[in-house]
Chain A
Amino acid sequence: MDKVRTWWRAHRPSTRALVQLYAALLYNAHLKGFVQGEIFTGPTKALCVPGLNCYSCPGAVGACPLGALQNALASAGHGAGWYVLGILALFGLALGRTVCGWLCPMGLLQELLHGIPTPKLGKGRVTRALSWVKYAVLAVLVVALPLGYGLRHGMPLPAFCKYLCPAGTLEGAVGLLSNPANGGLFAMLGLAFTRKFVALVLIALACVFCWRAFCRFLCPLGALYGLFNRVALIGVKVDADRCNGCGACVRRCPMDARRVGDRECISCGKCVDACARGAIALCAGRAVLSGPKPAAERPRRARRAVRAAALMALVAALVAFNLPGAPKQAAPEAAVGSAVGEQLADFTLPLLDGTTFRLSEHRGQVVFINLWATYCAPCVREMPCFDRLKAGHPEIEVLAVHSSLVTEDVAAYLADKGWALDFAVDEGDAALQAIDGSALLPQTVVLDGDGVVVYNQAGSVSDEILEELLARASGAPPA
Chain B
Amino acid sequence: MTGKRIYLILQAALWTLLAALLIAGAVGLYREGMALRAAGDVAAPLFTRERVAGRLAKLAPLAGLALGLTLVGLALGVRDARRRPAACGKIPVRGEEPRRTARLRLVLLALAAAMIALGACNGGARDVLYKAVNICTECVGLG
Contact = CB atoms under 8 A, between A and B. Distances in A.
Say whether A associates with B. yes
Contacts of A403: 130, 134
A343 interface: no
Interface in A45-104: 45-48, 54-56, 60, 62-64, 67-68, 71-72, 75, 79-87, 89-90, 93
Interface stretch (A130-138, A204-212, A348-356, A385-393): A204-212
Interface string B38-69: 00001101111100100000000000000000
User: B interface, by DSSP: helix, strand, loop or mixed?
Assistant: helix
A201 B126 contact: no
B35 interface: no
A243 B90 CA distance: 13
Contacts of B74: 115, 117
Q: Which has the most chain A C-beta neighbours within 10 Å: B22, B48, B143?
A: B143
B3 interface: no
Interface stretch (A216-224, A299-307, A323-331, A374-382): A374-382
Interface string A411-455: 000000000000000000000000000011110000000000000
Contacts of B42: 462, 464-465, 467-468, 478
A197 B127 contact: no
B77 A54 contact: no
Contacts of A230: 101
Contact of B137 (A40, A45, A46, A442): A442
A441 B136 contact: yes
A457 to B, nearest CB: 9
A45 B128 contact: yes
Interface stretch (A19-27, A244-252, A308-316, A358-366): A244-252
B51 to A, nearest CB: 9
B47 A240 contact: no
Contacts of B108: 89, 93, 231
Contact of B132 (A67, A169, A247, A261): A67
A83 B137 contact: no
Q: Which has the most chain B C-beta neighbours within 10 Å: A156, A186, A468?
A: A186
B78 A117 contact: yes
A86 B91 contact: no
Nearest to A94: B109
Interface of A: 10-11, 39-41, 43, 45-48, 54-56, 60, 62-64, 67-68, 71-72, 75, 79-87, 89-90, 93, 115-120, 122-125, 128, 156, 158, 161-162, 168-169, 172-173, 176-177, 183, 185-194, 196-198, 201-202, 204-205, 208-209, 230-233, 237-240, 243, 245-247, 249-251, 253, 257-261, 279, 285-286, 373, 375-379, 403, 405-407, 439-442, 458-460, 462, 464-465, 467-469, 472, 478
Given A41-B133, A172-B135, 15 more contacts: A46-B126, A46-B128, A83-B125, A85-B119, A168-B141, A193-B47, A193-B143, A198-B27, A230-B101, A240-B95, A377-B139, A405-B133, A407-B131, A440-B137, A460-B137
Interface of B: 7-9, 11-12, 15-16, 19, 22-23, 26-27, 29-30, 33, 42-43, 45-49, 52, 70, 73-74, 77-80, 84-97, 101-102, 104-105, 108-109, 111-120, 122-143
| The 3 A-B residue pairs with the shortest CB-CB distance in the complex, in nearest-first order | A83-B119, A83-B124, A86-B115
